[in-house]
Amino acid sequence: QTAGMEPAIQGRMEGAEETALLRKMDAYWRAANYLSVGQIYLMKNPLLRRPLKRDDIKPRLLGHWGTTPGLNFIYVHLNRVIKEHDLSMIYLAGPGHGGPGVVANAYLEGTYSEVYHEISQSERGMQRLFKQFSFPGGIPSHAAPETPGSINEGGELGYVLTHAFGAVFDNPELIAAAVIGDGEAETGPLATSWHSNKFLNPVHDGAVLPILHLNGYKIAGPTVLARLPHHELRSLLEGYGYKPYFVEGVEPLATHRLMASVLDVVIAEITGIQQKARAEGFKTRPMWPMIVLRSPKGWTGPKVVDSVQIEGTFRAHQVPMADMDKPEHIRILERWMKSYQPEKLFDQKGSLRPELAELAPKGDRRMSANPNANGGQLLRDLQLPDFYDYAVKVLRPGAAQVSATTVQGQFIRDVLRLNEERKNFRVFSPDETASNRWSAVFEVTERCSTAEILPSDYKVSPDGRVMEVLSEHMCQGWLEGYLLTGRHGFFSCYEAFIHIVDSMFNQHAKWLEATRHIPWRKPVASLNYLLTSHVWRQDHNGFSHQDPGFIDVVANKRSEVIRIYLPPDANTLLSVTDHCLRSRNYVNVIVAGKQLAPQWLDMDAAVKHCTLGIGIWDWASNDKGFEPDVVMACAGDVPTMETLAAVDLMRLNFPDLKIRMVNVVDLMRLQPASEHPHGMTDKNFDVLFTKDKPVIFAFHGYPMLIHKLTYRRANHSNIHVRGYKERGTTTTPFDMVVLNDLDRFHLVMDVIDRVPKLGSRAAYVKQALLRKLIDHKRYIREHGEDMPEVRNWKWSGEKFGD
Amino acid sequence: QTAGMEPAIQGRMEGAEETALLRKMDAYWRAANYLSVGQIYLMKNPLLRRPLKRDDIKPRLLGHWGTTPGLNFIYVHLNRVIKEHDLSMIYLAGPGHGGPGVVANAYLEGTYSEVYHEISQSERGMQRLFKQFSFPGGIPSHAAPETPGSINEGGELGYVLTHAFGAVFDNPELIAAAVIGDGEAETGPLATSWHSNKFLNPVHDGAVLPILHLNGYKIAGPTVLARLPHHELRSLLEGYGYKPYFVEGVEPLATHRLMASVLDVVIAEITGIQQKARAEGFKTRPMWPMIVLRSPKGWTGPKVVDSVQIEGTFRAHQVPMADMDKPEHIRILERWMKSYQPEKLFDQKGSLRPELAELAPKGDRRMSANPNANGGQLLRDLQLPDFYDYAVKVLRPGAAQVSATTVQGQFIRDVLRLNEERKNFRVFSPDETASNRWSAVFEVTERCSTAEILPSDYKVSPDGRVMEVLSEHMCQGWLEGYLLTGRHGFFSCYEAFIHIVDSMFNQHAKWLEATRHIPWRKPVASLNYLLTSHVWRQDHNGFSHQDPGFIDVVANKRSEVIRIYLPPDANTLLSVTDHCLRSRNYVNVIVAGKQLAPQWLDMDAAVKHCTLGIGIWDWASNDKGFEPDVVMACAGDVPTMETLAAVDLMRLNFPDLKIRMVNVVDLMRLQPASEHPHGMTDKNFDVLFTKDKPVIFAFHGYPMLIHKLTYRRANHSNIHVRGYKERGTTTTPFDMVVLNDLDRFHLVMDVIDRVPKLGSRAAYVKQALLRKLIDHKRYIREHGEDMPEVRNWKWSGEKFGD
Ligand SMILES: Cc1ncc(C[n+]2csc(CCOP(=O)(O)OP(=O)(O)O)c2C)c(N)n1
Ligand SMILES: Cc1ncc(C[n+]2csc(CCOP(=O)(O)OP(=O)(O)O)c2C)c(N)n1
Ligand SMILES: [Mg+2]
Ligand SMILES: [Mg+2]
Ligand 1 near A411 CB (within 6 A): no
Please indicate, yes or no, whether the overall pTM of this predicted structure exceeds 0.80: yes
Task: Give the β-pairing of B659-664 and B614-616.
Answer: antiparallel
Q: Quick one: pLDDT at residue A744?
A: 98
At residue A539, the pLDDT reads: 79
How much is the mean pLDDT over chain A?
A: 96
Instruction: Report the pLDDT value the prediction gives residue A10, as an integer from 0 to 100.
Output: 60
CA closest to A713 among chain B residues:
B717
- B417 Cβ partners below 8 Å, 6+ apart? B444
For residue B457, the CA-to-ligand 3 centroid distance in Å is 13
Q: Is A21 exposed, middle or buried (0-12, 13-18, 19+ CB in 10 A)?
A: middle
Strands B460-461 and B447-448, bridge-based pairing: parallel
pLDDT for B12: 66
Is the distance from CB of A295 to CB of A316 less than 8 angstroms?
no
Q: How far is the CA of A397 from the centre of ligand 2 (A)?
A: 37
| Mean pLDDT within B447-459 | 97
CA B54 to chain A, closest CA, distance in angstroms equals: 13
| DSSP 3-state percent helix, strand, coil across chain A (nearest 5) | 45, 15, 40
Residue A800's pLDDT is 41
| pLDDT reported for residue B686 | 97
Looking at per-residue pLDDT, the higher value among A695 and A796 belongs to: A695
Q: Do A235 and B236 touch (CB under 8 A)?
A: yes
Checking if the pLDDT of A662 tops 80, the result is yes
Give the best residue of B58, B61, B502 to mutate against chain A (max A CB count within 10 A). Answer: B502
Looking at all shown ligands, the one closest to residue B97's CA atom is 2
The average pLDDT across B86-105 equals 98
pLDDT for A9: 63
Q: How many other CB atoms are there within 10 angstroms of residue A757's CB atom?
A: 12
What would the mean pLDDT of A377-403 be, rounded to a whole number?
95
pLDDT in tens, B628-650: 999 999 999 999 999 999 999 99
C-alpha distance from residue A274 to each of A68, A367, B640 (Å): 31, 21, 60
Q: What average pLDDT score do residues B359-377 get?
A: 98
Average pLDDT, chain B: 96
Q: What is the pLDDT of residues A466-517, one digit of tens each?
A: 999 999 999 999 999 999 999 999 999 999 999 999 999 999 999 999 999 9
Ligand 1 centroid to Cα of residue A217, in Å, is: 9
Mutate one of B130, B146, B287, B431 to test the A interface: name it (highest A CB count within 10 A).
B431
Contacts of residue A9, Cβ cutoff 8 Å, sequence gap at least 6? A245, A261, A262, A264, A265
Model pLDDT, residue A360: 98
What pLDDT was estimated at residue B800? 41
B2 pLDDT more than 60:
no
Nearest to B224 among A155, A198, A558 (CB): A198
The pair phi, psi for residue A214, each rounded to 5°, is -85, 85
What's the CA gap between B476 and B457, in Å, rounded? 25
DSSP per position, A14-62: -SHHHHHHHHHHHHHHHHHHHHHHHHHHBSS-TT--S---GGGB-SS--
- The answer to whether residue A12 scores a pLDDT higher than 80 is no
Q: How high is the pLDDT of residue A8?
A: 56
Report CB contact under 8 Å: A239, B235: yes
Q: Which pLDDT belongs to residue A1?
A: 39
- In the prediction, which pLDDT does A17 show? 87
DSSP symbols for A721-788: EE---S---S--HHHHHHHTT-SHHHHHHHHHHH-GGGGGGGHHHHHHHHHHHHHHHHHHHHHSS--H
State the pLDDT confidence band at B797, using cuts at 50, 70 and 90.
confident
pLDDT at B635: 98
Where helices occur in B120-211 by DSSP H, the ranges are 123-132, 160-168, 188-193
**Tens-digit pLDDT profile for residues B385-436:** 999 999 999 999 998 899 999 999 999 999 999 999 999 999 999 999 999 9
| Percent of residues, chain A, with pLDDT higher than 70 | 98
- Cβ contact A222–B137 (<8 Å): no
Q: Per residue, what are the HEC states of B476-499?
A: HHHHHHHHHCCCEEEEEEECHHHH
CA A212 / ligand 1 centre spacing (Å):
14
SS3 B193: helix
> What does the pLDDT read at residue B419?
98
First to last CA, chain A: 83
Q: To test the ligand 1 pocket, which listed residue (A219, A292, A294) has its Cβ within 8 A of the most ligand atoms?
A: A219
Q: Which helix (H) or strand (E) holds A802?
A: none
**pLDDT higher than threshold 70 for residue B357:** yes
pLDDT in tens, A550-566: 999 999 999 999 999 99
In chain A, the percentage of residues whose pLDDT exceeds 90 is 94
pLDDT at B11: 59
Q: How confident is the model at residue A291 (pLDDT cuts 50, 70, 90)?
A: very high
Question: Which tens digit of pLDDT belongs to each residue from B701-740?
Answer: 999 999 999 999 999 999 999 999 999 988 999 999 999 9
Confidence label for A458 from pLDDT (cuts 50, 70 and 90): very high
Chain B residues with CB-CB distance to A135 below 8 A:
730-731, 781, 784
Query: In angstroms, what CA-CA distances link A759 with A552, A651, A749, B756?
Result: 37, 16, 12, 41
Pocket flag, ligand 1, residue A97 (CB < 6 Å)? yes
* pLDDT for residue B1 is more than 50: no
Band of pLDDT at residue B215, cut at 50, 70 and 90? very high
Q: In chain A, which residues have their Cβ closer than 8 Å to the Cβ of B452?
A: 227, 229
What's the Cα-to-Cα distance from A522 to each of A110, A380, A578, B422, rounded to whole Å?
20, 12, 22, 59
Ligand 2: which of B75, B184, B193, B211 to mutate, most ligand atoms within 8 Å of CB? Answer: B184
Tell me if A136 and B735 make a contact (CB, 8 A cut-off): yes
Q: DSSP secondary-structure letter at B680? A: B
CB-based contact B732 A544, cutoff 8 Å? no
In this complex, is the C-beta atom of A304 within 8 Å of any C-beta atom belonging to chain B?
Answer: no
Q: How confident is the model at residue B8 (pLDDT cuts 50, 70, 90)?
A: low
Ligand 1 pocket mutation pick from A184, A190, A500 by most atoms within 8 angstroms of CB: A184
Question: Which residues sit opposite B89 in a β-bridge?
Answer: B175
B158 Cα: distance to centroid of ligand 4 (angstroms):
13
